[in-house]
Chains A and B, each alone.
Chain A
Amino acid sequence: MLQLDDLSFAYGSVKAVNQVTLEVAEGSIHGLIGPNGAGKSTCIDLVSGRRRPTSGTVRYRGRHITDLSASRRRHLGIARSFQRISVYPTLTVADQLDLAARLVGEQDVDAIVAALDLGQCLSVTPAEIGYGEQRRVDIALALVGAPDLVLLDEPAAGLSREESIALADHLAALVRDRGMTVVLVEHHLEVVYRVCDRLTVLDHGAVIADGVPQEVRRDPQVVAAYLGRSAA
């Protein structure tokens, strides 16, 4: 459903993403993992249209979308959440969900509210709710309109281990239920192994492993990348 071909992105002379080629299968939850600075978030940025690649292409359902604007991509069915929570600080939660829903023709925004348990904070602004709830608002903004492909950029960042696992299970059930495809960038490996069907491991911007979680887990290169970094 999503294909990245030879995708590269450089910040000045630093190659954040280096000739990444990967394919995301329809209906899967595809994990994108790797040490800090491996280029995971930049990949999400390239797919969602936040950044333009220096070279390479992004194809979605066979169509080249490399140069489309972010808003066009959303209408094609590619939605994303943000690592640093990105909501509307002075609008009530109801307001922001309503505005987002109108854009993509979501008929049943209350189903998402219920699924993410946001019913209690509809009438207040993000400043008045907890961190975990703000996260869920951010995710809800990505899920309205049932996009075909959801890019989740560390949805569990800042949450405790238990909260992360709970959120991940919940999200996995939700997206499977609706037949969405997910690219998940996540730090907690436990979460990743739990919900992902397939994993791609990045290090220094390049793919070092790709496969089903059980294989990737034992890959010596992956182990080295993680251990080498944490030992340093």
Chain B
Amino acid sequence: MSAPTVADTLRRARRGARWEVAGWVVLALVGLGAPYVLTLYQLQLAQQAAIMGILALSIGWLLRQTGQLSFGHAAFYGIAGYGTAYVAEHASLPIGLTLLAGIGCGVVAALVVGLVTIRVPGIAFAMLTLAIGMLVWVAGGQLHSITRGADGLNVSLEGSLLGKDVVMYGNPVDAWPLVWGLLMASVAALWALSRTTWGRRLASIRDNEERVRFSGYATYWPRVVAFTVSGLVASLAGTVNLVTTSFISLETLYWSTGGLALIVAVIGGVRSVLGPPVGAALFIVLQNYLSGSGAHYQAVLGVVLIIVVLVAPGGLAEIAARARTAAVVRVRHRATEPAPPAPARDPLDAGAAPSTDTAGARRAAAR
């Protein structure tokens, strides 16, 4: 046997991806059937969860890939929403262009914020994004003629989007394929992006920015682009939210919109791209259940976050990965197959890219 090469090692580590892609295609297809199973009210909740999931995904991916904690994503979410509303009202563009223009507003905002903040390290970055988010909120309050402040803005979109009158998307049954499709597309796109050389390069910048520069890579623009990509996904959520509700108010811009999404992302686990949407779904269920019994979902959520941070920093994704590994070990044990030497798992890839040991174990389990 010849010595292991770098290329071989990388190829082996990537083999697990096939299973993951297959799993997602199944999940995406199964998800499309939701309207046939859920009641209208449940579907409504599922739609909320999916939109929040997209926002949480944008924040969670940024945290995972670049190590940056953004408290200001509500700004991009809100700016995209208001931008769409503004364009719809003041320009008579086809609906597709209107939506793109709205998303574009959010992306431009993210680009500008990224240009200014990206060099600021660690915690100061988190503080800065919170401050900028609040600045946008303050500005939104002062631009009352555009935003209508806390009263909110009722938006009437017109035109035909993907073969349906855009008004139809106010009905969850009609909107579901769009919302679910966008969620799964975002998940898949960000997952794929993480696995490209550029995505891995981002992870290396997160790990050790200085070393990357000394390896011959300027780190400023890649991080700005990553922040903008994250802002794009957040903007997508903002515009979809507007399309499905035809309403937007100042609360959308408030820091807690982004803060909540961040919390559910962390609870779900940012190490997996599926973690944030799962966290969002859990939140919506919890909120719905608790508000029915008159209890306090904010406090519960805060406590859950504290517990997750203290006990399982990888969130639900990590718990699931641990459970899977434990189950696999048990199966493998029963099969009395000689255990292959298990290389330790890459801690940051626990959920997103099952490393060689879980993938190998799964093959063992399949026999």
Determine direct contact between A and B, CB below 8 Å. yes
Interface residues of A (CB under 8 A from B): 48-50, 69-71, 74-75, 79-80, 82, 86-92, 94-104, 109-110, 113-114, 119-120, 122-125, 128, 141-142, 145
User: Which residues in B have their C-beta under 8 angstroms from that of A50?
Assistant: 210, 214
Per the bound structure, the CA–CA distance linking A124 and B283 in Å amounts to 36
Per the bound structure, the CA–CA distance linking A99 and B210 in Å amounts to 14
B214 touches A113 (CB 8 A): no
B213 touches A69 (CB 8 A): yes
User: Which residues in A have their C-beta under 8 angstroms from that of B7?
Assistant: 98, 110
Beyond known contacts A71-B218, A114-B3, A123-B356: 10 more, CB 8 A cutoff: A70-B213, A71-B217, A74-B214, A74-B215, A90-B347, A91-B207, A94-B10, A102-B197, A109-B6, A120-B4
B197 touches A79 (CB 8 A): no
A69 touches B218 (CB 8 A): yes
A95 touches B10 (CB 8 A): yes
Per the bound structure, the CA–CA distance linking A213 and B346 in Å amounts to 46
User: Which residues in B have their C-beta under 8 angstroms from that of A94?
Assistant: 6, 9-10, 13
- B208 at interface by CB-CB < 8 Å: yes
User: Which residues in A have their C-beta under 8 angstroms from that of B10?
Assistant: 94-95, 98
Q: Identify the closest chain A residue to B208 (Cβ).
A: A88
A124 to chain B, nearest CB (A): 6
B204-246 interface code vs A (CB 8 A; 1 in, 0 out):
1001101101111111000000000000000000000000000
User: Which residues in B have their C-beta under 8 angstroms from that of A102?
Assistant: 197
Per the bound structure, the CA–CA distance linking A88 and B217 in Å amounts to 15
Q: Identify the closest chain B residue to A89 (Cβ).
A: B207
User: Which residues in A have their C-beta under 8 angstroms from that of B218?
Assistant: 69, 71
Q: Identify the closest chain A residue to B5 (Cβ).
A: A110
A60 to chain B, nearest CB (A): 15
Per the bound structure, the CA–CA distance linking A102 and B217 in Å amounts to 10
User: Given the known A-B contacts A89-B208, A90-B207, are A100 and B215 also in contact in the complex, defined by CB atoms under 8 Å?
Assistant: yes
B3 touches A119 (CB 8 A): yes
User: Given the known A-B contacts A91-B204, A92-B346, A123-B12, are A99 and B6 also in contact in the complex, defined by CB atoms under 8 Å?
Assistant: no
- B343 at interface by CB-CB < 8 Å: yes
- B200 at interface by CB-CB < 8 Å: yes
Main secondary structure, interface of A, reads helix
Q: Identify the closest chain A residue to B210 (Cβ).
A: A86
B167 to chain A, nearest CB (A): 48
Give me the 6 closest cross-chain CB pairs, A-B, nearest first. A74-B216, A94-B9, A88-B207, A122-B9, A119-B3, A70-B213
B79-93 interface code vs A (CB 8 A; 1 in, 0 out):
000000000000000
- B203 at interface by CB-CB < 8 Å: yes
Per the bound structure, the CA–CA distance linking A92 and B210 in Å amounts to 18
User: Which residues in B have their C-beta under 8 angstroms from that of A82?
Assistant: 211
- B9, B10, B13: residue with the most chain A Cβ atoms closer than 10 Å: B9
Q: Which of B204, B210, B214 contacts A96 (CB 8 A)?
A: B204
User: Which residues in A have their C-beta under 8 angstroms from that of B211?
Assistant: 82, 86-88, 141
User: Which residues in B have their C-beta under 8 angstroms from that of A99?
Assistant: 197, 200-201, 204, 215
- B348 at interface by CB-CB < 8 Å: yes
Could you list some 19 contacts between A and B, CB below 8 A?
Answer: A48-B214, A79-B214, A86-B210, A88-B207, A89-B207, A89-B208, A90-B348, A91-B200, A91-B203, A95-B13, A95-B200, A98-B7, A100-B215, A110-B3, A113-B5, A123-B4, A123-B12, A124-B344, A128-B344
A71 touches B213 (CB 8 A): yes
Q: Which of B204, B214, B219 contacts A80 (CB 8 A)?
A: B214
Q: Identify the closest chain B residue to A112 (Cβ).
A: B6
B204 touches A92 (CB 8 A): no
Per the bound structure, the CA–CA distance linking A137 and B177 in Å amounts to 49
Q: Identify the closest chain B residue to A113 (Cβ).
A: B6
Per the bound structure, the CA–CA distance linking A142 and B215 in Å amounts to 7
B343 touches A123 (CB 8 A): yes
- B9, B214, B356: residue with the most chain A Cβ atoms closer than 10 Å: B214
- B7, B211, B356: residue with the most chain A Cβ atoms closer than 10 Å: B211
Per the bound structure, the CA–CA distance linking A74 and B346 in Å amounts to 29
